[in-house]
Amino acid sequence: MKDSYVIFDIGTAAYPDAKCKIDHADLELVSGYKWGIAYMGGAGYKLAYARTRVGGRKNARYLRMHRLIMGAEAGTEVDHINGDTLDNRRCNLRVATRLEQSRNTGMRKNNSTGFKGVSYIGKLGKFRAYIVVNRKQIHLGLFQKAEEASAAYEKSAAELFGEFHRKIG
């Protein structure tokens, strides 16, 4: 059954309707655990992950479903390609460095322009395009329209980030 996936229930008392996607082939692997959902966020993002508690009382830790599915070792990052952290199908998961993952982030919740890499400069009445590369912000230009600034960002992101570029807004 190629491309076969199931909607897997990870609901808890606090979040009874929580679900995630997994490949049918991984159903047996994940069914051996009691799953829940954890919301995490910071810097303007809010992400939800399927997770379970493993180990005894003294050495308990949380294990995220996408890491179990990928067999990720400690220190290894696993990236959700489409940005949906509850889509744990193998076609949506890849091993990545922290830097590569940062290139695949979504738009911040406090974004006021509706476009990633675009801000409005009120004093100038223009939209500024910028991109962050290796933790350094690079100015791409000033534009009359947000769409023009977004096009400049998208072009640079596609060139600089390659497969880790995710087109947004």
This model's pTM is above 0.75: no
At the second CATH level, the architecture of 5-96 is Alpha-Beta Complex (3.90)
User: Distance (Å, rounded) from C-alpha 110 to C-alpha 133?
Assistant: 21
| Residue 161 pLDDT | 80
* Tens-binned pLDDT, residue by residue, of the chain (169 aa): 456 899 999 998 888 999 999 999 999 999 999 999 988 775 455 689 999 999 888 888 999 999 999 999 888 899 999 889 999 999 999 998 887 777 767 677 777 888 888 999 999 999 999 988 888 899 999 999 999 998 998 898 888 887 777 776 5
| CA distances in angstroms from 29 to 4, 9, 16, 110, listed in the order given | 15, 14, 22, 38
- Token digits of residue 10: 């990870």
Q: Give the DSSP letter of residue 153.
A: H
- Residue type for position 100: E
Euclidean distance between CA atoms 166 and 116, whole angstroms: 10
For the structural domain made of 107-164, what CATH number should be given?
Answer: 3.30.730.10
Residues of the chain within CATH 3.30.730.10 domain(s) are: 107-164
Residue range(s) of every CATH 3.90.75 domain in the chain: 5-96
